[in-house]
Structure 1
Amino acid sequence: MRQHVGWIAGTAAAVLVAVGALTYSVAQDGETSGTPGADSADAGFARDMAVHHQQAVEMSYIVRDRTEDEDVRRLAYDIAQTQANQRGMLLGWLDLWKLPKVSSDAPMTWMGMGDMPSAGDGSLMPGMATNTEMKKLESLSGKQAEVFFLQLMTAHHKGGIHMAEGCLDKCVVDVEFRLARTMVNGQRSEIDLMADMLRERGAKPRS
């Protein structure tokens, strides 16, 4: 297991390098890539994924304080660092494009899913945990916290992949398209890792 988590740590480091390169790239060739409009898929993805990522960061730091298991703590740290950096990129692009970071449109409107019923209780987009689930995670410790975190984060990643694939279909800014592809690949790898970690704890992802 430590070998797998070490691989994820290396992947996270590579992603951070890519993050810096992509930020530099958009600053250099933003004019040739074009500036998207406020209602574009590029802007919508940046806004929604920034919110989605923020919850993943919060969940990761919660579980780091609720367990002594080094594999889970290392995975949580990697997720928090990677998604915090990606969130910074998304918000930075909105600044660069001079577009608002919030919208009156419902989440997922850019994907044609603005009328999709929300899970409610703070779950605004696919895969997001509810406020009740976040409070439950804070109340658990040890193996129970590890299992619940891995289940929540697996669902969270699946929702994030769905959104990133939507960007691959609709986004037109090249650097954002490349970041979305990085998200899909990285989160798929982490889902596989979390499935192994759940099996080791006698559990499985929630249906």
Structure 2
Amino acid sequence: MTASTDSAGAGGAAGRPAPVRLLLVGAAVLVALALALWVLATPGSGAGKPSSAEPPAVGSADAGFARDMAVHHQQAVEMSFVVRDRTDDEEVRRLAYDIANTQANQRGMLLGWLDVWGLPKVSPDGGYMAWMGGSHEHDHGDDGSAANSGALMPGMATDAELDRLRKAQGKDAEVLYLQLMTAHHMGGIDMASACAQQCEVPVERSLAQGMVDAQESEMKLMADLLLARGSAPR
């Protein structure tokens, strides 16, 4: 299992590097805004008019996307802070900070929605991606690790890849980060596109589509950065 798997639980921030903890605290400030946005976007809600809509079911696309993308985002945040400590290149450091800041904030919103819906932050069956159906579902193995060579969900880095990133320096760290994050974005786009089509809460669909648009743009930038370093996405 990757180092980020515990982040979906209540104690996920414990033991994180200081910059990561600071970002997570900052993201928590947005939870109230996320809840307000959900209320405003819920049919039948308004001033003095309670909502008549039921919260999403635990197995719905809305709940599944919120749970899984929170875990997916946390790994991106962690990888981004790792590379910022291993390179002096301002372009890569700026990209890494932007990704960490954006995804930490979005993660706070997703977890906030789960709170207001009264739903668990971890899937009751312990797996991932069931809400997408088909071959996207990943289950834990007997040792607690996930299927697919230790990857939790599409695009997520394995323990071995994370260890390589932590040990790399300079250009090697830049290239590996850009390759891992490109794959990470590809998986994230797959998940967000599914929510944009399947989720029923309007503000969540809008957030998912925004993720698709932003990450597609970042992938183009990362391809250019890799080309400048004589490399390419894997």
Calculate the aligned-residue CA RMSD, in Å: 2.1
Report what 2:129 is aligned to. Answer: 108
Q: Does 1:148 align with 2:171?
A: no
Structure 1 segments unaligned to the other structure (5+ residues) = 1-15
What is the CA distance between 1:119 and its match in structure 2? 1.7
Q: Deviation per CA, 1:148-184: give whole Å up to 9, x if none.
A: 0000000000000000011012100001000000000
Could you tell me which amino acid in structure 2 is paired with residue 120 of structure 1?
S
User: 2: CA distance between counterparts of 1:35 and 1:94?
Assistant: 10
Q: 1:180 to 1:33 in 2, by over 3 A?
A: farther
Q: Does 1:135 align with 2:163?
A: yes
Report what 1:53 is aligned to. Answer: 73
User: 2: CA distance between counterparts of 1:167 and 1:133?
Assistant: 28
User: 1: CA distance between counterparts of 2:185 and 2:129?
Assistant: 16
Q: 1:19 to 1:143 in 2, by over 3 A?
A: farther
Q: Summarize the alignment of residues 1-207 of structure 1 with structure 2, pairs less than 5 Å apart.
A: 23-30=35-42, 31=51, 34-105=54-125, 106-112=127-133, 113-114=136-137, 118-121=147-150, 123-206=151-234
Give SS of 1:103's match.
Answer: coil
Report what 1:6 is aligned to. Answer: none
Alignment length, in residue pairs?
189
User: 2: CA distance between counterparts of 1:103 and 1:22?
Assistant: 21
Give SS of 2:124's match.
Answer: coil
TM-score, normalized by length of structure 1? Answer: 0.85
Q: Deviation per CA, 1:54-95: give whole Å up to 9, x if none.
A: 000000000000000000000000000000000000000000
TM-score, normalized by length of structure 2? Answer: 0.76
Structure with the higher helix share, 1 or 2: 1
Q: Does structure 1 retain, via aligned residues, the 8 Å contact 2:138–2:153?
A: no
User: 2: CA distance between counterparts of 1:63 and 1:180?
Assistant: 26
Give SS of 1:110's match.
Answer: helix
Q: Does structure 1 retain, via aligned residues, the 8 Å contact 2:41–2:202?
A: no
Structure 2 segments unaligned to the other structure (5+ residues) = 1-26, 43-50, 140-145
Q: 1:98 to 1:82 in 2, by over 3 A?
A: same
The percent identity for this pair of structures is 59
Q: Deviation per CA, 1:103-147: give whole Å up to 9, x if none.
A: 1332000000326893232x1100000011001000000000000
User: 2: CA distance between counterparts of 1:157 and 1:124?
Assistant: 14
